[in-house]
Structure 1
């Protein structure tokens, strides 16, 4: 399992704490510090579409209209904190966010 998030994100910290007992060897990737490969971002965008972009973030609010109109994957490459978090990859399954549905699917309710 690979967990993509931010170490400063409260939701990511809650998710990691809940996942740790069930998946003790899951890998954590900080999207800001470690970065995310373009191919991974493209796969995330293919799976989640526009839901992958966090339009409520302070990063999004700080962008001008021309920047917001860029290709979404390119925008995420340039501003990885725009990605909704966490993105959890477990084998061929991908999960976005830390909703009750995601928690249930991962068996960590």
Structure 2
């Protein structure tokens, strides 16, 4: 009989580095903007027909492509829709396509 292969913790293939937050998202200004957008949207997900509680404030046009922090570029999302827009079914991050934003969400001014 063949013995099962054992992999010890010391022989791990790769360690996942800890996630580092952009310092901007820890600023008082972002916290104020986030609270304002959640209040504007009634703490509800802005995806039509969703009706779940929003926990995430997301940029429609990414900051890295010149998207602003103006309220018109921000939307409230539930955890499920935040993952849908940002992750593939296997959990890996989707590539961000410039110019795409609120195509699945309504943008409330």
User: Structure 2 length normalisation: TM-score?
Assistant: 0.26
Q: Which structure dedicates a bigger proportion of its chain to helix?
A: 1
Structure (1 or 2) with the greater strand fraction: 1
Greater RCO, CA 8 A, separation 6+? 1
The structure whose Rg is larger is 2
